[in-house]
Structure 1
Amino acid sequence: MNRKERRAANKRRDESAKRPNAPGFGSAADLAAEASRFYGMGRLSEAQEICRQILAREPAHVQSLNLLGLMAQASGDHRAAVKMFVKAIAADEVNAACHYNAGYSYQALGNRAKAATHFSKALALGMDAKAGSLILQSPVITSHLGRIDVKWPLPVTNVELFGTEGVAPLASDLFLRCAMETTTLASIPIEVLLGYARAELLRLAGNQGSEDDDIVAFACALAGQCFINGYVYGRTEADAEGASALRDRLLQDLASGAAITPLVLAVVAASFPLHALPTADALLHRDWPAAVTGLLRMQLREPLEEMAERNAITALTPIKNSVSVEVMRQYEENPYPRWTVNPLTAFVADQARGKIALTEERQAKLDILIAGCGTGSHAIQIAQVYPNARLLAVDISMTSLAYARRKTRELGLRNIEYAQADILELGSIDRTFDSIESVGVLHHLAEPMPGWRVLVPLLRPGGTMRIGLYSNLARRVIVEARARIAARGYRATAEDIRRCRQDIFREAEQWKPLIGAKDFYSMSGCRDLLFNVMEHRLTIPEIAAFLHDHGLSFQGFEPFDDPTVMEKFRKQFPGTADEASLDQWHRFEIEHPETFWDMYVFTVGKNVHGSFRAPS
């Protein structure tokens, strides 16, 4: 090497040392952020080089392995992609994104069993919240939706939509199938498309059509989605009649012992819950393919188990209040919500990674009351966070409690006692608690403040209470919708709820907050959202007055999903922003009425020393 070449090499070395992606420079996190930036800019070779530098130091660096896998995936090298994703999962087995990415590449390689396993794992680990947006990225889905959009809101025919291929392209989408079996898909386009798919499957089944494995598995998955969402999808009168005729034919074949094709069974289950059909339990004594067995577990075995669970639930208090009786009837008919995956996946995942320690507080043998536990998701979250706590979870609906008990048993949790009770009557149970949680419940009582007042003496001195209440300002669109529902004479029946939703779809611009709410996409959720027997909405001054009168100290609102909320809050009160000031939060909400769209969710303490500031 001559002098000129040495100078050039030294210059390149010096420039390389100054770059953030140089070996030995910066933390792995900084380098990974730089690699992600280059990846986003399409500078793949530079992103790959940085990832390799990181892996030279940390061979199990998950983000770098995942990024290399994505770049291999983008180039069509799915074998190389799978190798990267498998290594990433070995280092972090609860990483939902890595499981999803692995599933995508396994599907591309034709390994459908492994693809489905990884997709299901991703959904169970929290990917269910993003399922709708991921499905809408599928070229098959977008091509079908494009054909609908051309004529929307006018209908297209099944021939126009599906052509000669029928639903086969949809049926081959494994992530779509896994998502339908796992979570409510909260998307108008997906709902419309699946509505057409159900009609096409009904036509196939009525004509003794395809028994292709993928078509049957897709039909079973769609039946699972319909069961999870409470059969909320709208349908034409002709489709409703066709579904009823197919159901009657199935029942006749079941009674006579005749053969029943898997497709017929699945299509009937996409319109009617199997457990509600007479003698349906006889279906359990026949041989079925795996997809149908899973469907029967969801729609028959589990409901039968819940019926058995009811016998083990204690009636802790009477239910005498007339509004309480009506509310109980609502949630007996539509238990809310119907969930399928572990409700605290993020916490469980972080605990598995060692990011969450079993602190002294978490190990404490606390007595906790969940006042209004619904179908158990909330109680199960708390039981996982505090494994040594003793939980009493009460609800007014026996159907909801039975669902909660089954899910709790499936998860192997043993520290929850379920009982039927009316919050208004809990003063008679002669028990006190270190912590009380009542989120989304008090505003459905005949009067929320008397119900809240019942809970205060049950809280031990120094204890905390977590409360969730509807905001009067945030729910103005709900008030408008409920007024519209009353004016048009919609009743809280399944058929009227379907018709109401279809009307709202056609006027989507006016009702954006509604159609953006996940509850809108299930029968129980929509009834809870728009057709509730009783709903009260409160203001921050009303909450503050209650706290003042009952010796409770405000400890703060729950962290907001939207990080800009706190930025706006501090900007509105520069230098004086106080997250514990209800006066400031009241003034903030007036300026930003959408802040508490879901609920006010906050914690208060009992007999905690310190000043209390009620809003003016």
Structure 2
Amino acid sequence: MSDAGDRAVGGDDDPVAAQYEAYPYPARDAAEESRRLITGSPSRLLEIRHYLRAGAPLPAGFRALVAGGGTGDGTVMLAQQLADAGVPGAEVVYLDLSKASRAICEARLRRRGLTNVSFHSGAIEDLASLGLGQFDYIDCCGVLHHLADPAAGLRQLAEALTPAGGLGIMVYGRFGRSGVYELQDALRRLGHGLDLQARVRLAKGLLPKLPKTNRFARNPILGDHKRSDAELVDLLLHERDVAYSVPELAELVAEAGLEIAAWIEPLRYDPATYLPADLLNRLEGFSALERAGLAEQLAGNLKTHTLYLSQGTRTPLDSQPTAIPTWVEWEGPAVAAMIKREGALAGAFDGLPLRLQLPPRAAAFAELCDGHRSLAEIRDALGQRFRDLPVERLEREIATCLQVFGGINRLLLMAGP
């Protein structure tokens, strides 16, 4: 872990910079690093490989930038997974305005004994002048929507990519944040003239007394403010905050000269997830973007959008015989046991219960996905076990399993040797 020095950014009159100095976000305790590694999307290594590199291994000297690193969730995850994977010469570069947030991230890395991170204090808008070089991957999670000019910020990030590089981003979703902006404005008016700490006290006093008809109070998927004061400030007292619908976000991405490689989780952005069977034929002729936008309107609970961005059309592995299905933080035997017990894949998307139907051989397929067997080997093993099953039927069942498990971002394809 190296210190590359500081640059003067985010002056004393910058309320956003001041907010993160007073309330580093998200609230984290370095002592917890001995008990857990916080993971999530974007930026798991398996996701980067699957969505941006057609399953190929990360190259030696792989460089990742965490743009707006905060208290370090993305930085720590990337640094630990790169160390575990043994990628030669891999480096994570941390960039953030807040020295208080940076100190927490540094403490978390020290707790883990990780030394593959360099630190820089600065703004995304100043990236071109910071001299940090080019990156194979950039993580920008929960940051663009707080910039004065998100489009300019995303263009800066795109320009910092290597020719084969890509990004993982998260921005706020317009529909899932129902009630947030009305309450933000109300708290801004009620707290006029108060310092930030006093506004926090005001908000904490008001929240439990909001009318039951208040749109924020009626939104069941918004609970970040209950975790800590830092989360409350970020959600309800932020000085600069914009949310996007799917079409608005697609326009932002296109303006930066980028393409959407994948929405996470893909099934959230498939209207077939939410429509009754008798309406599925109405989706004919919809483009991928139109389908994603319709899914957002139907679901109503997408409070954030997580997606991977590339600089050009990527050729996914899909169902190439040499591809190796690999579980993301799941294990095949446990998945198989769940399928046998539930008869389907049961779960929820932010309060929306889901019961995803799987083909009859799904449990057997799940058990065979061990991160080593290729799709061809799995198909052959299933064919030997279910000799009376027509080959075409077996291949359809495998394709369905890949679609469902991949749709919830839990089974990804790695390139074979």
Cα gap change, 1:557/1:550 in structure 2, threshold over 3 Å: closer, same or farther? same
Could you tell me which residue of structure 2 aligns to residue 373 of structure 1?
Answer: 69
Could you tell me which residue of structure 2 aligns to residue 440 of structure 1?
Answer: 142
The answer as to whether partners of 1:327 and 1:534 remain within 8 angstroms in 2 is: yes
Q: Secondary structure at the match of 1:446?
A: coil
Q: Are 1:600 and 2:312 counterparts?
A: no
Note the 1:341-360 alignment, pairs <5 A: 341-342=32-33, 344=37
Cα gap change, 1:346/1:381 in structure 2, threshold over 3 Å: closer, same or farther? closer
Could you tell me which residue of structure 1 aligns to residue 241 of structure 2?
Answer: 535
Note the 1:408-447 alignment, pairs <5 A: 408-430=109-131, 431-447=133-149
Per-residue CA distance 1:16-45 (angstroms, 9 max, x = gap): xxxxxxxxxxxxxxxxxxxxxxxxxxxxxx
Q: Distance in 2 between matches of 1:377 and 1:539?
A: 25
Q: Are 1:494 and 2:208 counterparts?
A: no
Cα gap change, 1:561/1:555 in structure 2, threshold over 3 Å: closer, same or farther? closer
Shift of residue 425, structure 1, vs aligned partner: 0.2
Q: Distance in 1 between matches of 2:259 and 2:267?
A: 24
Q: Which has the higher contact order (CA 8 A, sep 6+)?
A: 2
Uncovered stretches (5+) of structure 1, i.e. residues with no partner: 1-308, 352-358, 611-616
Note the 1:238-249 alignment, pairs <5 A: none
Q: Distance in 2 between matches of 1:320 and 1:345?
A: 28
Per-residue CA distance 1:452-476 (angstroms, 9 max, x = gap): 1111110111211111111222223
Q: Secondary structure at the match of 1:361?
A: coil
Q: Secondary structure at the match of 2:274?
A: helix
Q: Distance in 1 between matches of 2:145 and 2:231?
A: 16
The count of corresponding residues between Structure 1 and Structure 2 is 287
Q: Distance in 1 between matches of 2:163 and 2:300?
A: 34
Q: Secondary structure at the match of 1:438?
A: strand
Shift of residue 520, structure 1, vs aligned partner: 3.1
Shift of residue 502, structure 1, vs aligned partner: 2.5
The answer as to whether partners of 1:364 and 1:386 remain within 8 angstroms in 2 is: no
Question: What letter corresponds to residue 585 of structure 1 in structure 2?
Answer: A
Could you tell me which residue of structure 1 aligns to residue 22 of structure 2?
Answer: 333
Per-residue CA distance 1:133-186 (angstroms, 9 max, x = gap): xxxxxxxxxxxxxxxxxxxxxxxxxxxxxxxxxxxxxxxxxxxxxxxxxxxxxx
The answer as to whether partners of 2:269 and 2:292 remain within 8 angstroms in 1 is: no
Shift of residue 574, structure 1, vs aligned partner: 4.8
Uncovered stretches (5+) of structure 2, i.e. residues with no partner: 45-54, 316-417
Could you tell me which residue of structure 2 aligns to residue 519 of structure 1?
Answer: 225
The answer as to whether partners of 2:174 and 2:244 remain within 8 angstroms in 1 is: yes
The answer as to whether partners of 1:392 and 1:416 remain within 8 angstroms in 2 is: yes
Q: Distance in 2 between matches of 1:492 and 1:456?
A: 37
Per-residue CA distance 1:360-397 (angstroms, 9 max, x = gap): 62574311010001001111111222223210011110
The answer as to whether partners of 1:578 and 1:584 remain within 8 angstroms in 2 is: no
The answer as to whether partners of 1:552 and 1:608 remain within 8 angstroms in 2 is: no
Could you tell me which residue of structure 2 aligns to residue 450 of structure 1?
Answer: 152
Q: Distance in 1 between matches of 2:296 and 2:224?
A: 23
Cα gap change, 1:561/1:407 in structure 2, threshold over 3 Å: closer, same or farther? farther
Q: Distance in 2 between matches of 1:570 and 1:369?
A: 42
Could you tell me which residue of structure 1 aligns to residue 9 of structure 2?
Answer: 319
Could you tell me which residue of structure 1 aligns to residue 179 of structure 2?
Answer: 477
Q: Distance in 2 between matches of 1:330 and 1:405?
A: 20
Cα gap change, 1:566/1:528 in structure 2, threshold over 3 Å: closer, same or farther? farther
Cα gap change, 1:580/1:406 in structure 2, threshold over 3 Å: closer, same or farther? farther
Per-residue CA distance 1:421-461 (angstroms, 9 max, x = gap): 11000012341100011010011111111111111110111
Could you tell me which residue of structure 2 aligns to residue 182 of structure 1?
Answer: none
Q: Are 1:583 and 2:290 counterparts?
A: yes
Q: Are 1:546 and 2:252 counterparts?
A: yes
Whichever structure has more strand as a proportion of its residues is 2
Q: Distance in 2 between matches of 1:570 and 1:405?
A: 49
Q: Distance in 1 between matches of 2:26 and 2:72?
A: 9
Question: What letter corresponds to residue 37 of structure 2 in structure 1?
Answer: L
Shift of residue 522, structure 1, vs aligned partner: 1.0
Question: What letter corresponds to residue 583 of structure 1 in structure 2?
Answer: E
Per-residue CA distance 1:229-277 (angstroms, 9 max, x = gap): xxxxxxxxxxxxxxxxxxxxxxxxxxxxxxxxxxxxxxxxxxxxxxxxx
Shift of residue 419, structure 1, vs aligned partner: 1.4
Q: Distance in 1 between matches of 2:269 and 2:256?
A: 32
Question: What letter corresponds to residue 80 of structure 2 in structure 1?
Answer: Q
Q: Distance in 1 between matches of 2:175 and 2:300?
A: 5
Note the 1:98-117 alignment, pairs <5 A: none
Whichever structure has more helix as a proportion of its residues is 1
The answer as to whether partners of 1:395 and 1:401 remain within 8 angstroms in 2 is: yes
Shift of residue 495, structure 1, vs aligned partner: 3.5
Match for 2:96 among 363, 379, 395? Answer: 395
Question: What letter corresponds to residue 603 of structure 1 in structure 2?
Answer: Y
Question: What letter corresponds to residue 475 of structure 1 in structure 2?
Answer: R
Cα gap change, 1:480/1:440 in structure 2, threshold over 3 Å: closer, same or farther? same
Q: Distance in 2 between matches of 1:579 and 1:316?
A: 49
Shift of residue 493, structure 1, vs aligned partner: 2.6
Question: What letter corresponds to residue 28 of structure 2 in structure 1?
Answer: W
The answer as to whether partners of 1:317 and 1:421 remain within 8 angstroms in 2 is: yes
The answer as to whether partners of 1:554 and 1:580 remain within 8 angstroms in 2 is: no
Q: Distance in 1 between matches of 2:127 and 2:275?
A: 38
Per-residue CA distance 1:337-359 (angstroms, 9 max, x = gap): 12233463579xxx9xxxxxxx9
Shift of residue 313, structure 1, vs aligned partner: 4.3
Question: What letter corresponds to residue 500 of structure 1 in structure 2?
Answer: A
Shift of residue 481, structure 1, vs aligned partner: 0.8
The answer as to whether partners of 2:271 and 2:298 remain within 8 angstroms in 1 is: no
| TM-score where L is the length of structure 2 | 0.61
Question: What letter corresponds to residue 15 of structure 2 in structure 1?
Answer: E
Shift of residue 486, structure 1, vs aligned partner: 2.5
The answer as to whether partners of 2:10 and 2:97 remain within 8 angstroms in 1 is: no
